[in-house]
Structure 1
Amino acid sequence: MRIVLSGGGTGGHVYPALAIAEQCLKEHPKAEFLYIGTQSGLEKTIVAKSGLPIRFESIEITGFRRKLSMENLKTVMRFLAGVRRSKQLIKQFKPDVVIGTGGYVCGPVVYAAAKLNIPTMVHEQNVLPGLTNRFLSRYATCIAVSFKGSESKFPKAKRVVFTGNPRATTVAQADASKGRATLGLLPNAPLVIIVGGSRGAKAINNVMVDIVPLLPRLPNAHFVCITGEAQFEATLKRIQTESNGQLDHYHVVPYIHNMPEVLAAASLIVNRAGASFLAEITALGIPSILIPSPYVTNNHQEVNARWLEREKAAEVVLEKDLTADSLFDLIEKIVQDPIRSDYMSKQSKRMGNPKAAQLFVQEMKNLLRKL
């Protein structure tokens, strides 16, 4: 079995693709993969560090601006060039199927495959689909969605199925003891993770600094703050100044590559509301405080977050209302209330779909058999 994967821009688009590859290798150990991404996105680094036998090739592509501009004309030209380059790579690799997991990079790749009459699958992580996947739904052989009810968002698709997010399967199998060992934590200490997504978020990093004086209110809890590579140095310096260098229970890191294992050890997590991330926390049943990004298309992160909030699995704080005091009050109430924390955990796990990767790969195999 030969499979082309494409998706990028953020880890939320890359990790589901890798989860699909992991599941394929479990079922077909001789499967071969080609990943088509960009040189500038996170996908190149994440794929290289995954340890999976995946060859990586790149195309040059950018996303569309939301208003009319000459840059959009350049984007159209890059798209056409990306289609030509993708066709070359696909013809050389000769895949059985091409899979796109979101982000503008998968646009020319899946489109090229469709024009070459190669079976294609697109995975949509969000409740509200993105521009690229809406465009591809007219050409793809099959669309797989993460949220029940999202099927109706693709009225022009040939086939739409619910599978859940494949990333959930990877995370559900993670070893919490390895996550604690990575951070040097005691077995039973409450662990609160604060993270602003794979690239970090300035507003959340600012709160990481501002809550330092409040930490004595939870003396037994450990905090892991993940800033993103670009903002790490500046955020760490501010935190060190605020804490006078006393950071025994406050771990500040730019990125964590074994995130599933660290997540498995978490008692509570504070984060944006990207769909792949929600698949991870529901697979593990982690209570969460979600701060949806206000800078995404169609405000889809708030739509994602409200999905968990309605089921009492998460608390939602809008960025415009975010302060250190309000956030720490919520953290404190959840960490110190085992009944509330346990209920949130059960509700979160009830919404998870740890077999999502198996369902996606099964759909892929059914598709190939029919064709």
Structure 2
Amino acid sequence: MKHTTVVDYNKTYHIILSGGGTGGHIYPAVAIANELKQRFPNAKFLFVGAKDRMEMDKVPEAGYKIHGLWISGIQRAWTLKNLSFPFKLISSLWGAKKIIAKFKPDVVIGTGGFASGPLLHMAAAKGIPSLIQEQNSFPGITNKLLGKKVSKICVAYDGLERFFPANKIIKTGNPVRADLLHINEKRSAALKTFQLDAEKKTILVLGGSLGARRINELLEKELDFLLTHNVQVVWQCGKLYYNQYKIYNHTKHIQVHQFINDMASAYAAADIIISRAGAISVSELCIVGKPVIFIPSPNVAEDHQTKNAQAIANEQAAILIKESDLDVDFQNKFIQLIVAPDKQKALADNIKKLARENATKDIADQVEQLLGVQKAKTA
């Protein structure tokens, strides 16, 4: 017997998303919100972030309202800033409680970062359906603490049962921006956007939204070497380093950017990408399908960036160079790649095979279930 449930996609659901601190927490939240907005055009959205962090700018740029909490993490090395943490935590919990009471969310979604902890904690305590999206193979402390409280946990890697209740885990992959799909069709326009020479290979260098000191030092040291190979460089150095490296904007065939807002165009213009190996970066680069040199940060919990990059390199889908090996290996591995079109194509094809293009939709499906929305089914 067939049983059909009528889906009221016009209902005005109230949805809170919380996450931030870095682009790796912000952009997945925005991608999820965009997908839910398509499904529920009358829904109301509110983001909750940490005051003075980049989400306070990036979320409004994406078209959503955001409320900031006074919260930050505990520094691993002892600093005086840690003395303020208990006061920030109490303030943020109180602030989260007031936000929930006023907005009355039907569901709350967390994508990691300091602010998601107090917000998801208070939501779960009130029995509001909640979901966290864990991007990494080794969760941060916020999501580990939230795992026992929330309703569902969407993950991108196997083996997360070590950290979360197995019955709550759904493997979806990481959400990525929809504009990254089919970027090869945007290449000509992208070259014009960045005013690049179509006859030269374009090297795109990414160190994360805040920047990566070691990658920036490498680029400064190797610029002359790179330019001898008839390439042009688009270099996102990060807001923390822009004043130091912007002088190279005056060098022919070198562009230095504090931050690249139009990442779809940057990826479309690129022929080879040099990048950190944060979970969202890895997921995006699988979708993009270009040859990649990963330089993972060693300064993260459980060295998870190296594990992320190694998993891709093991599939012959990327080149991995550890920071400690850059001085010895970078020039040799770059030359081996730049002079070998067949190797470039093989890496591009292999990394594309690892993409999970439906991750955002799969996460939105889980949110629908939490909202009590069921599609037509056979009973």
- Common fold by TM > 0.5: yes
Q: Which amino acid aligns with 1:328?
A: Q
Residue 130 of structure 2 contacts residue 370 of structure 2 at CA under 8 Å; is this kept in 1? no
Match of 1:236 in 2: 246
What does residue range 55-66 of structure 1 map to in structure 2 within 5 Å? 55-66=65-76
Residue 227 in 1 paired to residue 247 in 2?
A: no
Q: Deviations over 1:121-153 (max 9, x none)?
A: 100111111111111001010000022x14323
After superposition, the Cα gap between the structure-2 partners of 1:86 and 1:269, relative to the gap in structure 1 and judged at 3 Å, is same
Q: Distance in 1 between matches of 2:280 and 2:179?
A: 11
Given candidates 155, 172, 175, the residue that maps to 1:166 is 175
Q: How far apart in 1 are the matches of 2:84 and 2:14?
A: 33
- Is contact 1:178-1:262 (8 Å) kept? no
Does structure 2 retain, via aligned residues, the 8 Å contact 1:190–1:222?
Answer: yes
> Aligned partner of 2:41: which letter?
P
Which one of the candidate residues 27, 33, 38 is aligned to 2:39? 27
**8 Å contact from structure 2 (residues 21, 54) kept in 1:** yes
In structure 2, relative to structure 1, the CA distance for the partners of 1:188 and 1:275 (3 Å cut) is: farther
DSSP 3-state at the match of 1:211: helix
The equivalent residue for 1:303 is: 307
8 Å contact 2:27–2:177 — kept in the other structure?
Answer: no
Shift of 1:87: 1.3
Letter in 1 for 2:325: D
Deviation at 1:67, TM superposition (A): 6.0
Gaps of 5+ in 1: none
TM-score when normalising by structure 2:
0.89
CA distance in 1, matches of 2:366, 2:171: 10
Q: Give per-residue Cα distances to partners, 1:230-253, cap 9 Å, x unaligned.
A: 21121123x46xxxx4x3321111
1:14-53 equivalence runs, <5 A: 14-50=26-62, 52=63
Paired position in structure 2 for 1:335: 338
For 2:255 and 2:137, the matched residues in 1 are separated by: 33
SS in 2 for 1:167: coil
Letter in 2 for 1:212: L
Question: Do 2:144 and 2:164's aligned partners in 1 also have CA atoms closer than 8 Å?
Answer: no
Distance 2:176 2:313 in 1: 21
- Per-residue deviation, 1:13: 0.6
CA distance in 2, matches of 1:73, 1:370: 45
Q: How many residues align?
A: 360
- Alpha-carbon RMSD: 2.1
Helix, strand or coil at the partner of 2:371:
helix
Q: Which residue of 1 aligns with 2:262?
A: 258
Q: 2:162 aligns with which of 150, 153, 156?
A: 153
Quick one: distance in 2 between partners of 1:43 and 1:179? 26
Q: 1:109 — aligned with what?
A: 119
Deviation at 1:24, TM superposition (A): 1.2
Q: Distance in 2 between matches of 1:150 and 1:178?
A: 41
Taking the aligned partners of 1:370 and 1:226, their CA distance within structure 2 comes to 42
| Distance in 2 separating the partners of 1:343 and 1:326 | 21
349, 354, 358: which one aligns with 2:357: 354
Deviates more, 1:208-217 or 1:158-167: 208-217
The CA deviation at 1:15 is 0.4
When the two structures are superposed, what TM-score results if normalisation uses the length of structure 1?
Answer: 0.91
2:203–2:271 contact (8 Å) kept in structure 1: yes
Instruction: Specify whether residues 70 and 196 from structure 1 end up closer, same or farther in structure 2 by C-alpha distance, changes over 3 A only.
Output: closer
3-state SS, counterpart of residue 292 of structure 1: coil
Change (3 A) 1:216 1:222: closer
Give SS of 1:322's match: helix
Q: Tell me which moved more, 334-343 or 188-197.
A: 188-197
- Work out the percentage of aligned pairs sharing the same amino acid: 31
Residue aligned with 1:333, SS: helix
The alpha-carbon deviation at position 321 of structure 1 amounts to 1.8
- Alignment match, 1:286: 290
The partner residue of 1:269 within 273, 288, 310 is 273
